[in-house]
Structure formats: C-alpha cells, structure tokens
C-alpha cells in the first residue's frame, strides 16, 4: 500500500490509481487528491484538507497518518471521504506558497490573479470537491462536511482554534459539538465572505465547514504531535463514526467574533502590532492598530483581540483581524 504523503511529494502517480481493501475502495484522483469509499451505504460526505499552505506540515502529517490507518484496516471507514493535500509544489520546498496565497483564491477568485501554479491548483481543488459532493449525493451521502487544517505563522495564546465562515444559516450543531470534543481552545466567527477554502465549501455546497489552526508552522518531522492528540482522535472518530470522547481540555471553548478586517489598501501602510505579538493578544479601546493615508484603524470596543497580523501582505489583502469575546 502506497504512502499518500511520500507519493504526493514525489510528483509521480502511484503504480495503481485505484484499489480495494476489505473495507473500502480508493481512487487516486490526481496529485494529492485521494477519495475513499466504504463498501456499505452511508449518509455523510466528508472532505478533509491540509497543505493549502505548503509549510504547514503538522496537519499534513496528521492526514497522512489517518489515510494509513484507513488503508491498512486499523481504522474502519464509515463515511465517504475525500483527502486533499492542497499545494504539493510549496510542500516540496517548505514554503507557504510558490507564487501567491491559494487561500485567497477560492470561490472563483483565482480568475482575478495572474495565472500561476496556485491559480490552477485552486481551480482543480474546487472541481475535485464538486465531483466528490455530486457523486456522494448520488450514492446517498447527503450530509456534507469540510475541515481545512492549517497552522499559524506566529505563536498564539490559543494553540488550537477554529474559524467558521460567514453563512446565512446556523452552523451545524453536530459540527460544533465535534469541534468542542476535539479540544479546540477557541472558535472565531467571521463577519464577511472571503476567498478561503471553507468559505467556498460552505457557500457553494452548503457544507458544515471549519478552518482549523493547529499550532505553529514547522518543517516536516519537527512537529510535536502530542499537541494534536485531541484532533487526531476526533478525526478518527468522525470518519469511523465511533463515539466521541468527552472534551479533555481543562478550560471551556472560548468564542470570538470578528469586529474589524484590517485591509492594506496602500503601499504606505503601518501596522502597530509588534512583530512578536501572539494571536489573541488583547488591546484596549482607542489603541491605534494600523494607519495609512486617509484611514486609521483603532480598537473600538472596550477590548479587542488581534488575529493574523501581517504588515507584509500585498496591497488589497487583509493585514489582520480584530475580535471580541462573546
């Protein structure tokens, strides 16, 4: 049985692109795109992705372990499952991306960029997801889910957290319970649409979707997987429909909502968040977050928390988020 990660990093397709075990059928759809189906009928179609940013290796290793357990028969498969390793070229060179940030390209936004490897791959991933959900519905799998696994560029006061896309319907109670049991420290609720993979799957396919941020970006082989035991067990339970373990974290799951999107609209942009500030660092009312000609971003609530501050993003992109607890 092939090693999914090694095969993807090699750039070559496996000798056989379809196969069968005692419990499942598998199809290698394309590089880093693997579909697994149980031999029995099921009502869930689950997409789990990682490596949209190629240097975020812990989730990639986590998914490779999950695939190995399923293909070896150590873990039963009870759902239709699509596993995506998003950006193999950037994975090979341990970079966030090669030409442009793919997680700004979904929902057709890749057409706004100069054509490159990432724009083509974003389109390919959208098509792979569409095919999977379509064939799953035809097979009776009517409940759709998508978990996109990442790690953060900088350290965080919450090591494991989820980001939920803006959507016009309530977030699924089953997914929210799963996120709690997985031991996440916090959930962040978006207030505006975006080009992320999970916003695409939520908006276009009405999937219950969540972006999971798990620790900090490190090279392959350097990750402390003890930090991710909760999410690994939760993923194993999710695809095998085993009972979820009770939440092991000592503190309850915290919830935040986005209050401000900090957009860099000019070259002369100043971000006043220190370079070593951790995600979820709090700032008091009136603190000047960022400045550019004609625009000043200040903390408007009694206290707001910073997330993903990055002064070096391209003009027109988001340089950070400000949050409030609720």
Q: Do 197 and 67 have their domain in common?
A: yes
Cβ density class 143-181: b for 16+ within 10 Å, e for less: bbbbbbbbbbbeebebbbbbbbbebeeebbeebbebbbb
pLDDT (0 to 100) of residue 131: 97
Q: Which tokens sit at 216?
A: 């900090």
pLDDT (0 to 100) of residue 7: 94
As a whole number of angstroms, the distance between CA 165 and CA 159 comes to 20
Question: How many domains does one find in the chain?
Answer: 2
Q: Do 58 and 163 have their domain in common?
A: yes
Report the predicted TM-score, pTM, of the whole model to 2 decimal places.
Answer: 0.93
Q: Do 41 and 92 have their domain in common?
A: yes
Higher pLDDT, 71 or 311: 71
As a whole number of angstroms, the distance between CA 110 and CA 324 comes to 31
Is-contact 285 301, C-beta < 8 A? yes
Residue 140, pLDDT > 90, answer no
Q: Do 161 and 289 have their domain in common?
A: no
Q: Which domain holds residue 279?
A: 259-325
What is the DSSP-derived secondary structure letter of residue 285?
Answer: T
Summarize pLDDT for 84-129 with one digit per residue, the tens. 999 999 999 999 999 988 998 999 899 888 899 999 999 999 999 9
Element (H, E) at 205: helix 197-205
Q: Do 115 and 176 have their domain in common?
A: yes
As a whole number of angstroms, the distance between CA 206 and CA 144 comes to 7
Q: Do 82 and 217 have their domain in common?
A: yes
295-298 vs 288-292, strand pairing mode: antiparallel
Domain assignment present for 284: yes
Catalytic position from the list 69, 118, 124, 213: 213
Summarize pLDDT for 143-179 with one digit per residue, the tens. 999 999 998 777 899 988 999 999 999 999 999 999 9
Domain assignment present for 221: yes
- Stretch 226-241: mean pLDDT, rounded? 87
Q: Do 67 and 208 have their domain in common?
A: yes
Residue 29, pLDDT > 80, answer yes
**φ and ψ of 194, to 5 deg:** -150, 180
Q: What angle do the packed helices 57-72 and 229-240 form, to 10 degrees? A: 40
Coil, strand or helix at 321: strand
Domain assignment present for 248: no
Confidence of residue 222 (pLDDT cuts 50, 70, 90): low
Domain assignment present for 271: yes
Residues belonging to the binding site are 53, 56, 150
Is-contact 73 36, C-beta < 8 A? no
In the chain, what percentage of residues exceed pLDDT 70? 96
Q: What is the CATH number of the domain that holds 313?
A: 2.40.50.630
Residues belonging to the binding site for Zn(2+) are 53, 56, 150
Question: CA Rg, the chain, in Å?
Answer: 20
Q: Do 155 and 214 have their domain in common?
A: yes
The CA-based angle 168-174-180, given to 5 degrees, is 105
Q: Is 61 a catalytic residue?
A: no
């Amino acid at each position: 049985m092939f090693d999914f990660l090694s095969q993807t990093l090699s750039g070559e397709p496996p000798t056989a692109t379809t196969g069968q075990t005692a419990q499942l059928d598998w199809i290698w759809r394309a590089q880093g795109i693997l579909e697994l189906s149980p031999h029995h009928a099921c009502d869930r179609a689950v997409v789990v992705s990682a490596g949209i940013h190629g240097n975020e290796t812990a989730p990639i290793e986590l998914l490779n372990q999950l695939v190995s357990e399923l293909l070896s028969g150590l873990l039963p498969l009870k759902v239709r499952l699509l596993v995506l390793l998003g950006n193999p070229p950037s994975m090979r060179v341990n970079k966030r991306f090669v030409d442009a940030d793919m997680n700004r390209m979904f929902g057709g936004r890749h057409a706004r960029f100069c054509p490159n490897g990432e724009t083509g791959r974003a389109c390919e991933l959208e098509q792979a997801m569409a095919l999977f959900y379509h064939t799953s519905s035809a097979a009776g799998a009517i409940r759709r889910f998508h978990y996109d696994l990442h790690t953060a560029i900088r350290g965080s006061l919450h090591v494991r957290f989820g980001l939920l896309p803006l959507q016009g319907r309530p977030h699924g109670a089953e997914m929210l319970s799963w996120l709690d049991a997985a031991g996440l420290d916090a959930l962040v609720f978006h207030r505006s649409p975006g080009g992320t993979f999970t916003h695409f799957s939520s908006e276009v396919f009405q999937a219950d979707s969540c972006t999971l941020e798990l620790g900090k970006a490190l090279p392959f082989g350097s990750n402390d997987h003890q930090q991710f035991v909760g999410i690994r067990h939760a993923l194993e339970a999710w695809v095998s429909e085993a009972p979820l373990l009770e939440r092991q974290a000592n503190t309850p799951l915290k919830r935040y909502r986005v209050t401000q999107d900090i957009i860099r609209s000019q070259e002369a942009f100043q971000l006043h968040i220190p370079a070593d500030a951790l995600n979820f660092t709090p700032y008091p009312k009136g603190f000047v977050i960022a400045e550019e000609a004609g625009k000043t971003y200040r903390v408007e609530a009694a206290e707001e928390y910073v997330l993903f501050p990055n002064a070096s993003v391209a003009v027109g992109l988001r340089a950070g988020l400000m949050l409030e607890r609720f």
